[in-house]
Structure 1
């Protein structure tokens, strides 16, 4: 099979056996020309075995098995490096738990093809919405986004969103080795780094659906990591310390 012809959809998985087949089927329906890379962190529920079965039935699906739960951020870095090395134009981030709708993939890719270095699926913009989240959780998410925007002087409305299409040419301008955070923190750090170097970003309204199966990977530790890092980056931004290796290569918003 010829690689690198267009988009690589990266699906990190951990305890996703209930949702992965439907997500893959949706990608294949709505983005039939894309390749899919499933990165499984030794899920004890058999997700890796299901991924292998999907790959055996579809030559455009590959699976990478990792030895343990190494985290969302490191999984995406594996996918980004493969997308760059194999010549893909776009790398797509997407959850495997059903919270991101495959029917909205074409809109993200259209924005990237129209010039966005980062097409960001956004909940907190006109047209964006959330299904089946309690009001309390929405409030917490909005508050976290507001803190990040203020601390980082960012113009983005949904820094924590994990539904994205990225042009690999822009990923090559980021020192991926220095991206060390996980979960929400990884999404914030990458989007902010790209914003800082002048990457054209288009926030595309998305519908976020609360997962119907499996188990959320969100934890107190991941949330705390994100908050501590955002506040640290904001402090360094204001008091002159170098905040990232790419800082001098683009404008400072």
Structure 2
């Protein structure tokens, strides 16, 4: 399969971050792919995000600017981007400029090595304590409920496009990526986990822990339990098809031991 890549970039009030995000992604892509596109989705921002992404699209033929008519949610922006994606692999990178450029490059290096590339965060200490606690509890609960044994469920995952299109995205909330991952992993799709590093946000605030988003996540998980363990139990009873990251010590994947990582 020819290596072509679509990256969906949801952006909500990211005027301070979106240009740097795009610059890092373009640097990381380099000459790794036969063709690529960046689909930036402005999710009804109240700041200058929409104007900035229009300027970025006008300056680079690989960039497309899309605008939601109002704030529709992170998952809705991703689904819109996926519906427009034309390349063989589809990824997501938020427009908040959190992911270090070298980590984006390391993730992209693995495209083609598995059906799904699943990044996990090595330096969670750069995030607020409440966000770290929620992430750890969420990962623990997801692994207990669905036995996928992933390090992280809400990172910048890259899917083979035909695999992604085979499974509907049933929620527009923050749980869209994790529920999709569970269904694909439990159906036997191959995946490889790769460590990534984050930088502190330079502007704007995460909306992940807003009460309405937490409620949406809880409802999505409840529906997923019903699907995986009851409604479609046979379909989702396949062995976990994990591919080990080349050269990655087992201690990193099993115990979360942190190696040194570069910055950009």
| TM-score when normalising by structure 1 | 0.84
Q: Which residue of 2 aligns with 1:63?
A: 65
CA distance in structure 1 between the partners assigned to 2:150 and 2:214 by the alignment: 19
CA deviations 1:210-249 (Å, max 9, x no partner) are 32211212211112221232244235544x2237xxx637
Q: Does the residue aligned with 2:182 lie in a helix, a strand or coil? A: helix
Tell me the matched-pair count: 234
Deviation for aligned residue 1:62? 0.7
Q: Does the residue aligned with 1:248 lie in a helix, a strand or coil? A: coil
CA distance in structure 1 between the partners assigned to 2:235 and 2:81 by the alignment: 26
Q: Which residue of 2 aligns with 1:189?
A: 179
- In the alignment, is the contact (CA less than 8 A) between 1:131 and 1:208 conserved in 2? no
Q: Which residue of 1 aligns with 2:76?
A: 74
Q: Does 1:234 align with 2:225?
A: yes
Structure 2: segments with no counterpart, 5+ residues: 241-264
- In the alignment, is the contact (CA less than 8 A) between 1:42 and 1:68 conserved in 2? yes
CA distance in structure 2 between the partners assigned to 1:136 and 1:15 by the alignment: 21
CA distance in structure 1 between the partners assigned to 2:67 and 2:128 by the alignment: 34
Q: Does the residue aligned with 2:111 lie in a helix, a strand or coil? A: helix
CA deviations 1:38-63 (Å, max 9, x no partner) are 11122110100010111111111110
CA distance in structure 1 between the partners assigned to 2:28 and 2:237 by the alignment: 35
Decide whether aligned partners of structure 1 residues 225 and 249 sit closer, same or farther in structure 2, where only a CA change above 3 A counts. Answer: closer
RMSD of aligned alpha carbons:
2.2
Alignment of 1:1-253 (within 5 A): 6-32=4-30, 34-83=36-85, 86=86, 88-114=87-113, 116-123=114-121, 128-161=122-155, 163-176=156-169, 179-183=170-174, 185-218=175-208, 219-238=210-229, 240-242=230-232, 248=235, 251=238
| TM-score when normalising by structure 2 | 0.81
Q: Does the residue aligned with 2:235 lie in a helix, a strand or coil? A: helix
CA distance in structure 2 between the partners assigned to 1:79 and 1:112 by the alignment: 19
CA distance in structure 1 between the partners assigned to 2:214 and 2:90 by the alignment: 25
Structure 1: segments with no counterpart, 5+ residues: none
CA distance in structure 2 between the partners assigned to 1:220 and 1:42 by the alignment: 20
Deviation for aligned residue 1:7? 0.8
